[in-house]
Structure 1
Amino acid sequence: MIKKNRSWWKDDTISNLIGRKQIDWSIFEYGTHIPMDFHEDFVVANQNIEVPLGQSQRVLLITEGNQFECNLSRINQRKQNREALQIRYDTNSELKDYMIARFNSSYNYLFHKRNQAASTKNPITVPEQYAEYLEFYATDNPFVYELKFITNDIPIPEDHPSIWWVCQGTSYNTQKQEGVLWAPLKNIGGKTQHHWETMKDVKVNDIVLHYSIGALRAVSQVQEAAVERPKPASLPDQQWEETGRLVVTEYHELNPPIPLEAISQDLLQLHITKGPINKKGGVNQGYLFPFTLQGLSIVQNKSKDTPWPEFTLLSEVEEVEQDVELVTLNDEETSAHLQIVKGYIQQQGFTYPELLIENFYISLKTKPFVILAGISGTGKTKLIQKFAEALGATEANGQFTLIPVRPDWNDPSDLIGYKDLSGTFRRGKLTYVLEVASAPENQQKPYFICLDEMNLARVEHYFSDLLSILETQRWQEGRIVTDTVVAEDQVGRNIGIPENVFFIGTVNMDETTHPFSKKVLDRANTIEFNHIQLDNFIGLENAAVSIEEESESLYPTAQFLTSNYIQLKDAYAENKNIIQSTVSQLVKINTILESIHAHVGFRVRDSICFYLIYNERFSLMTPEEAMDMQIMQKILPRIQGNNSVVKKVIIEFLLFSISGSISNSKEYVDGERDIEQLWAKHISENNVKYPQSAKKLIYMLRRLDHDGFTSFWVS
Structure 2
Amino acid sequence: MITQVRSWTHDDSITTMIGRKKVDWSIFEYGTTIPNDFRSYFYVANGGEEIEIGKGKQVTLICDGNLYQASLRNVDQKSAGRETLQLRYHSTEIKELMISRFKHSYEYISARKPQDPGNKKQVFVSDVLAEYIEFYSTDIPYTYEMKLIPIENNYNLAPNIWWVNQGATLSEEKEEGIIWAPLTGKGGRSQYHWDTLDEVKQGDIILHYANGSIGYVSKVLEECVRAQKPSSMSSSNWDEQGRLVRVEYHMLQPKIALTQFSQNIMGLQIGQGPIHSGAGVKQGYLFRFNIEGLQMIQESAPEVNWPEFTLSNQTETKEKAVVTSLLILKDDGVADTLKQIQLYVSHQGFHYPKGLIENLYLSLKTKPFVILAGVSGTGKTKLVKLFAEAIGATGDNGQFTLIPVRPDWSDPSDLLGYKDLSGAFRPGRLAEVLAEASKPENHHRPYFICLDEMNLARVEYYFSDLLSVIETQEWQGERIVTSKLINRDSLREEDQPLYGDLYLPDNVYLIGTVNMDETTHPFSKKVLDRANTIEFNYIDLQQYPSFTSSEKVTTLPVHNHFLRSDYLQLVDVYQEYTDLVHSATEKLVRINHILEEIHSHVGFRIRDSICFYMVYNKRFELLSDDEAFDLQLLQKILPRVQGSSMSVKRVLLQLMQGVLGRTLPVAELLEDSSELYAKWNDNQEETKAKHLQSARKIAFMLRRLEEDGFTSYWLS
Q: What TM-score do you get using the length of structure 1 for normalisation?
A: 0.58
Q: Distance in 1 between matches of 2:265 and 2:398?
A: 27
Tell me, what secondary structure is at the counterpart of 1:502? strand
**Are 2:328 and 2:562, in contact at CA under 8 Å, matched by a contact in 1?**
yes
The yes-or-no answer on 1:85 pairing with 2:263 is: no
1:242-641 maps to which residues of 2 (within 5 A)? Answer: 325-488=325-488, 489-490=490-491, 491-492=495-496, 493-537=500-544, 539-541=545-547, 544-547=550-553, 550=554, 555-641=557-643
Closer, same or farther: CA 698–543 of 1 in aligned 2, 3 Å = farther
1:81 CA displacement: 4.9
Tell me, what secondary structure is at the counterpart of 1:651? helix
**Are 2:674 and 2:703, in contact at CA under 8 Å, matched by a contact in 1?**
no
Tell me, what secondary structure is at the counterpart of 1:327? coil
CA RMSD of aligned residues (A): 4.2
Q: Distance in 2 between matches of 1:347 and 1:682?
A: 31
Structure 2's unaligned 5+ residue stretches are 1-159, 181-205, 217-236, 238-258, 281-294, 308-317
Q: Which residue of 1 aligns with 2:659?
A: 657
Q: Distance in 2 between matches of 1:423 and 1:644?
A: 56
Closer, same or farther: CA 562–350 of 1 in aligned 2, 3 Å = same
Amino acid at match of 1:126: V
Q: Which residue of 2 aligns with 1:704?
A: 705
Q: Distance in 2 between matches of 1:13 and 1:604?
A: 62
**Are 1:457 and 1:513, in contact at CA under 8 Å, matched by a contact in 2?**
yes
Say which is worse superposed, 477-486 or 499-508, in terms of deviation.
477-486
1:349 CA displacement: 1.2
Q: Distance in 2 between matches of 1:685 and 1:352?
A: 20
Q: Distance in 2 between matches of 1:564 and 1:128?
A: 41
Q: Distance in 2 between matches of 1:73 and 1:440?
A: 22
1:123 CA displacement: 6.5
Q: Which residue of 2 aligns with 1:231?
A: none
Q: Which residue of 2 aligns with 1:689?
A: 690
1:545 CA displacement: 3.6
1:653 CA displacement: 1.1
**Are 2:370 and 2:510, in contact at CA under 8 Å, matched by a contact in 1?**
yes
Closer, same or farther: CA 450–680 of 1 in aligned 2, 3 Å = closer
1:679 CA displacement: 5.6
Closer, same or farther: CA 120–713 of 1 in aligned 2, 3 Å = farther
Amino acid at match of 1:637: P
Amino acid at match of 2:440: P
1:487 CA displacement: 1.9
1:374-396 CA-partner distances (Å, limit 9, x unpaired) = 11110000100010011111111
1:532 CA displacement: 1.4
Q: Distance in 1 between matches of 2:306 and 2:424?
A: 47
**Are 2:268 and 2:325, in contact at CA under 8 Å, matched by a contact in 1?**
no
Closer, same or farther: CA 530–666 of 1 in aligned 2, 3 Å = same
**Are 2:467 and 2:530, in contact at CA under 8 Å, matched by a contact in 1?**
yes
Q: Which residue of 2 aligns with 1:305?
A: none
Closer, same or farther: CA 374–416 of 1 in aligned 2, 3 Å = same
1:5 CA displacement: 3.8
1:103-140 CA-partner distances (Å, limit 9, x unpaired) = xxxxxxxxxxxxxx9x99696352369xxxxxxxxxxx
Q: Distance in 2 between matches of 1:618 and 1:582?
A: 17
1:665 CA displacement: 2.8
Amino acid at match of 2:446: P
Q: Distance in 2 between matches of 1:120 and 1:441?
A: 16
Q: Distance in 2 between matches of 1:687 and 1:75?
A: 48
**Are 2:268 and 2:324, in contact at CA under 8 Å, matched by a contact in 1?**
no
**Are 2:630 and 2:691, in contact at CA under 8 Å, matched by a contact in 1?**
yes
Q: Distance in 2 between matches of 1:483 and 1:619?
A: 34
Q: Which residue of 2 aligns with 1:644?
A: 646
1:409-461 CA-partner distances (Å, limit 9, x unpaired) = 00000100000011101011111111111111100000001000010000000
Q: Distance in 1 between matches of 2:351 and 2:524?
A: 31
Q: Distance in 2 between matches of 1:453 and 1:402?
A: 11
Q: Which residue of 2 aligns with 1:666?
A: 667
1:323 CA displacement: 14
Q: Distance in 2 between matches of 1:450 and 1:587?
A: 34
**Are 1:474 and 1:482, in contact at CA under 8 Å, matched by a contact in 2?**
yes
Structure 1's unaligned 5+ residue stretches are 33-46, 48-68, 91-116, 130-317
Tell me, what secondary structure is at the counterpart of 1:713? coil
Q: Distance in 2 between matches of 1:122 and 1:89?
A: 16
**Are 1:447 and 1:501, in contact at CA under 8 Å, matched by a contact in 2?**
yes
1:669 CA displacement: 2.7
Q: Distance in 2 between matches of 1:523 and 1:27?
A: 48
Q: Which residue of 2 aligns with 1:713?
A: 714
Closer, same or farther: CA 128–611 of 1 in aligned 2, 3 Å = closer
Q: Which residue of 1 aligns with 2:27?
A: none
1:598 CA displacement: 0.9
Tell me, what secondary structure is at the counterpart of 1:556? coil
1:647 CA displacement: 1.1
The yes-or-no answer on 1:127 pairing with 2:305 is: yes
Equivalent pairs counted in the alignment come to 457
1:83 CA displacement: 5.2
Q: Distance in 1 between matches of 2:676 and 2:359?
A: 29
1:668 CA displacement: 2.8
**Are 2:328 and 2:559, in contact at CA under 8 Å, matched by a contact in 1?**
yes
Q: Distance in 2 between matches of 1:587 and 1:323?
A: 43
Q: Distance in 2 between matches of 1:513 and 1:456?
A: 5
Amino acid at match of 1:712: Y
**Are 1:374 and 1:507, in contact at CA under 8 Å, matched by a contact in 2?**
yes
Amino acid at match of 2:328: T
Closer, same or farther: CA 712–13 of 1 in aligned 2, 3 Å = closer
1:546-601 CA-partner distances (Å, limit 9, x unpaired) = 24xx55x5x22111000011111111111111111111111111121111111111
1:334 CA displacement: 1.2
Closer, same or farther: CA 440–78 of 1 in aligned 2, 3 Å = closer
Q: Distance in 2 between matches of 1:672 and 1:127?
A: 76
Tell me, what secondary structure is at the counterpart of 2:332? helix
Tell me, what secondary structure is at the counterpart of 2:503? coil
1:206-243 CA-partner distances (Å, limit 9, x unpaired) = xxxxxxxxxxxxxxxxxxxxxxxxxxxxxxxxxxxxxx
**Are 2:165 and 2:209, in contact at CA under 8 Å, matched by a contact in 1?**
no
1:684 CA displacement: 5.0
Q: What TM-score do you get using the length of structure 2 for normalisation?
A: 0.57
Q: Distance in 2 between matches of 1:339 and 1:643?
A: 44
Amino acid at match of 1:644: M
**Are 1:451 and 1:503, in contact at CA under 8 Å, matched by a contact in 2?**
yes
Q: Distance in 2 between matches of 1:386 and 1:522?
A: 26
Amino acid at match of 2:514: V
The higher-RCO structure (CA 8 Å, 6+ apart) is 1
Tell me, what secondary structure is at the counterpart of 1:448? strand
1:10 CA displacement: 5.8
**Are 1:349 and 1:543, in contact at CA under 8 Å, matched by a contact in 2?**
no
Tell me, what secondary structure is at the counterpart of 2:426? strand
1:651 CA displacement: 1.3
